[in-house]
Amino acid sequence: MFTVHVNGMDYQAEQDNKLMRFLRDDLRLTSVKDGCSQGACGTCTVLVDGKTTRACIPMISKLEGKSIVTVEGLSDREKEVYSYAFGKAGAVQCGFCIPGMVMCAKGLIDVNPDPTRLEVIAAIRNNICRCTGYKKIIDGILLSAKIMRENLSVEEDEGVVAVGDTILRIDAKEKVLGTGEYPDDIYLDDMIHASAVRSEYPRAKVLAIHSGEAKALDGVIGVFTAEDIPGSVKVGHLKHDWDTMIAVGKTTRYLGDAVCLVAAETPEILEKAKSLIKVDYEVLEPVLDPFEAMKEGAPLVHSTGNVLAHEHLVRGDADEVIEKSKYKVTKHYETPWTEHAFLEPECAVAMPFDEGVFIYSTDQGTYDIQHECSLMLGLPPEKVIVENKLVGGGFGGKEDASVQHLAALVAYLTKRIVKVKFSRQESITVHPKRHPMWMDITTACDENGYLTAMKAVVVSDTGAYASLGGPVLQRACTHAAGPYNFQIIDIDGKAVYTNNPP
């Protein structure tokens, strides 16, 4: 038995656990956000004896006799000031990082009421924000310090604002204080937990899934495979090419492919059950380069061929005009994959509802999620209700179904309330990235420097699934000439399937 002193009260814990798990799961102090569980992002920052501490690292057994403060434990005045100052500075966007930033601010201002900008920067150096660019958070902390130092009053916005006025976002306060709900903040009675077993290889034929041992484990509700899907196994944002799970006899397309889905009473049993699942594979050579994938005889990622989309924009005869132009420049350009690294990993909570399902989601397209889940469940759309909770960043990385359809499936099959949540690693492995592109561009102009023509060849790696690969390629091609006045163009683009992340 451990005694943990949190926000001025003593609590007893029967089992040792990470401080973050105790604060969130036992005390339901959900301002302590779980962005990575690995001490890397700072969203779980609390004060331990006045010092900023990432709550996902220490065990509660090491904290006896220490005083822990979370945003919920701030005084009313502090809550009022931080809500106002962060809101006024425009520091609150998705909000997922903000409670952690507030605890950094408090840790600083408590000992240094008049910090310099540099001292504020140092105070938040271990906390990541993917939305604001930090400047406004720093401004918000400096404004908080000033209001407290000078004992200024905090004014609410008047009802009438003029164009150009700075107004407080209506959701700033709940995000600063951590009372706003992201799906992972939902705790419901009898809620179970589910998670997918992912492919061990980017390209491998699934020969068998051995789930007997996992199913026999106490607390396991079920292990589900593609055969259990009542509707379409394939979903997809625009093109339905994405297997919800890879069936026995089928071939995986990337490391993020789900092979089976495990549901259990607790996250701990779930992890244990997943480790007991054994999958037999016939490992195949993956194709990891779009240029290789376009070659004759390359392994087919999809039976329809490896070219997902082809765009060819032509106006005039670019070859001829470039040939006759006084100056021409040909260069090769490359842009890499970009992981969005939104601070909130994907999470969904689903439950049976009116012969269908109700899903709490965090995504960029509520109706797309409804459409894909109804397709997979074989239900009419009105039987699938999707409600978006707060979205802790997306930047294009939360357009596709990731956790929502898995949660919907388990809720539908088990008739239980279920949470499906990605770890940071699973999030990075599974969700689509910004497409890497390879571009050869020739630009020509006359003797006065006036642009005459351009020619471009663009190749993008769309990875294992289409996702938004088609429209993104189209955008790349239609925008390749930039804002310049080219009357003559020849732009050829291809988006190519590989066994890389979508």
Looking at 39-47, 308-316, 361-369, 443-451, which segment touches ligand FES (CB under 6 A)?
39-47
Contact indicator for 131, 125 with CB cutoff of 8 Å: no
Q: Which of residues 19, 42, 66, 365 is near ligand FES by CB under 6 A?
A: 42
Q: Which of residues 73, 90, 95, 469 is near ligand FES by CB under 6 A?
A: 95
Provide the sign of the torsion angle of the four alpha carbons 289, 290, 292, 296, taken in this order. Answer: positive
**Distance of closest approach, residue 33 Cβ to ligand FES, in angstroms:** 7
**Distance of closest approach, residue 420 Cβ to ligand FES, in angstroms:** 18
Q: What is the chain's alpha carbon radius of gyration, rounded to the nearest angstrom?
A: 26
**Distance of closest approach, residue 363 Cβ to ligand FES, in angstroms:** 15
**Alpha carbon distance 438, 443 (integer Å):** 16
Half-sphere exposure of 493 (CA within 13 A, CB side): 29
* Residue 345 sits in the site that holds ligand FES (CB under 6 A): no
How many helices (DSSP H) and strands (DSSP E) are in the chain? 14, 21
**Distance of closest approach, residue 477 Cβ to ligand FES, in angstroms:** 31
Our CB check for ligand FES shows the closer of 115 and 393 to be 393
**Distance of closest approach, residue 246 Cβ to ligand FES, in angstroms:** 30
3-class secondary structure per residue, 91-122: CCCCCCCHHHHHHHHHHHHCCCCCCCHHHHHH
Our CB check for ligand FES shows the closer of 100 and 365 to be 100
**Distance of closest approach, residue 113 Cβ to ligand FES, in angstroms:** 25
**Alpha carbon distance 442, 322 (integer Å):** 8
* Residue 97 sits in the site that holds ligand FES (CB under 6 A): yes
* Residue 105 sits in the site that holds ligand FES (CB under 6 A): no
Our CB check for ligand FES shows the closer of 35 and 356 to be 35
* Residue 69 sits in the site that holds ligand FES (CB under 6 A): no
Nearest to 498 by CA among 471, 472, 447, 459: 459
Q: How big is the CA angle at 405 (ends 400 and 409), to the nearest 5 degrees?
A: 170
Q: What are phi and psi of 25, to 5 degrees?
A: -80, -35
Strand partners, 353: 356
* Residue 43 sits in the site that holds ligand FES (CB under 6 A): yes
Our CB check for ligand FES shows the closer of 36 and 260 to be 36
Q: Which of residues 31, 93, 442, 460 is near ligand FES by CB under 6 A?
A: 93
Which of positions 111-130 make contact with ligand FES (CB under 6 A)?
A: 129-130
Q: What is the full DSSP assignment across 477-489? A: HHTTTTTS--S-E
- Amino acid code (one letter) for 361: S
Provide the sign of the torsion angle of the four alpha carbons 210, 213, 216, 220, taken in this order. Answer: negative
Our CB check for ligand FES shows the closer of 34 and 311 to be 34
**Distance of closest approach, residue 130 Cβ to ligand FES, in angstroms:** 4
* Residue 393 sits in the site that holds ligand FES (CB under 6 A): yes
* Residue 30 sits in the site that holds ligand FES (CB under 6 A): no
* Residue 94 sits in the site that holds ligand FES (CB under 6 A): yes
Looking at 36-44, 148-156, 369-377, 394-402, which segment touches ligand FES (CB under 6 A)?
36-44
**Alpha carbon distance 254, 202 (integer Å):** 4
* Residue 286 sits in the site that holds ligand FES (CB under 6 A): no
Our CB check for ligand FES shows the closer of 228 and 271 to be 271
Token readout for 475 is 């955008």
Strand ranges, E, within 108-246: 192-198, 204-210, 220-224, 234-235, 242-243
Our CB check for ligand FES shows the closer of 128 and 481 to be 128
- DSSP reduced 3-state for 333: strand
Indicate the DSSP class of residue 169: -
Q: Which of residues 3, 15, 28, 40 is near ligand FES by CB under 6 A?
A: 40
Please count the residues of this chain forming the interface with ligand FES, following the rule CB under 6 A: 24
* Residue 68 sits in the site that holds ligand FES (CB under 6 A): no
Q: Which of residues 96, 201, 224, 358 is near ligand FES by CB under 6 A?
A: 96
Looking at 92-100, 157-165, 229-237, 348-356, which segment touches ligand FES (CB under 6 A)?
92-100
Token readout for 253 is 């397309």
**Alpha carbon distance 272, 288 (integer Å):** 32
**Distance of closest approach, residue 67 Cβ to ligand FES, in angstroms:** 19
Half-sphere exposure of 492 (CA within 13 A, CB side): 6
**Distance of closest approach, residue 258 Cβ to ligand FES, in angstroms:** 24
Q: Which of residues 6, 19, 29, 41 is near ligand FES by CB under 6 A?
A: 41
Indicate the DSSP class of residue 281: E
* Residue 391 sits in the site that holds ligand FES (CB under 6 A): no
Our CB check for ligand FES shows the closer of 54 and 66 to be 54
The burial class, CB within 10 Å (0-12 / 13-18 / 19+), for 472 is buried
Q: Which of residues 221, 343, 410, 472 is near ligand FES by CB under 6 A?
A: 343
* Residue 37 sits in the site that holds ligand FES (CB under 6 A): yes
**Alpha carbon distance 457, 42 (integer Å):** 42
CB atoms within 10 A of CB 202: 24
* Residue 362 sits in the site that holds ligand FES (CB under 6 A): no
Residues at the site binding ligand FES, with contacts judged by CB under 6 A: 34-37, 39-44, 54, 56, 93-98, 129-132, 343, 393
